[in-house]
Structure 1
């Protein structure tokens, strides 16, 4: 059974979509295999490895982040690659971003090492199934969307270069899911310090991450935290993803500890 948080994130995502993109989102949310993989991914991440949430809430949160970014960028005239290259419509780009964000971490069900590659392996037949339902008579459309989706999944850890705006959005949307709720369960189940705890404790200091229209550049990201340990998340995780993303030229990035001066990174 889905948690209230999962259902709330799904409603928020649906409110940003229409047409075929909304249909695809609903197919993803109700797919039993995807939901099972996301649950197993979280068990491996939290129970076995002691890492942060990599399950259904995280993947839904990344999808919401990605759609916010996609909408802000396209509303201000930033053209995604599928459109720019004449391979499809903006709706196709949106669906590729949606699929990649929703499926990017399913490989955690196998393990952490090279999980982006495992995610590609597990997601590919699921993508085929979802797209065949949405576009039964449009082979080329399905092929283009799948290719860009897989780039987004494979590139989300920065180990593989991303060359499209669509894939670049996944990098940053993933990095922006660092609020304290993501580290709550690992902190509760942890039995003492171990490798990787800096990710949990730094994440627990992040009060909020806002994604909105910028004043100088199209996209503004602001990280609000309660302790300076949260700067680890910004500088070691989020900045690393932004630096390798094709979306970097369009971003203003700010971070601050409550009651202290705001630091601008980009």
Structure 2
């Protein structure tokens, strides 16, 4: 094809990547992906999803995540297939094996996804909640709040509701877009004192990852919500005492 002066396109390279994986040659697939990039060609959602899906099937979850994070960094919006591969990959493997891989990969390169997933599992969250929130955090960090909100709606339809960590992630993304004063019109809010405390805890963890410990705007919003909730509780207590 090249000898005849015809340039391969995204479909050509993506087909080759799929072919290498089909033959069990993941190195060949990655090499073709790198060659594609060196030619100035932008991989699309199908290209990335093939890489992510096959590494998830092989149990190489850190590798799958590295391509997911690269995908978001390059502003390629993931689709339902991408999410399906990640959720299945991180829920169908044993937590111990995943955490071991997370630990090994984090020694070489920091990953927001893996770090957050590992922290949630260590704190006792389910694998499904941990992977969903890790996806959510990565989307919001890369300016894809709209996609994160759409994903949230899809999970709600499956019976997985917005939890305190999801709230912290979405609030972070909204504040990052400069819409901190609009957040109540964008995400539903029905968290109690303990849930707000958990949201604040994970917002502070995010600050450690992304702001060298400096409080983000989302953290400041959550701190004010926690203080407001405490004030309301004190008022209720005083009323009870008077009555």
| TM-score tier after normalising by the smaller chain length | 0.3 to 0.5
Higher strand residue share: 1
Task: Give the number of the structure with larger relative contact order, counting CA–CA contacts within 8 Å between residues 6 or more apart.
Answer: 1
Give the TM-score taking structure 1 as reference length. Answer: 0.32
Length-normalised TM-score, structure 2: 0.34
Q: Name which one, 1 or 2, has greater alpha-carbon Rg.
A: 2
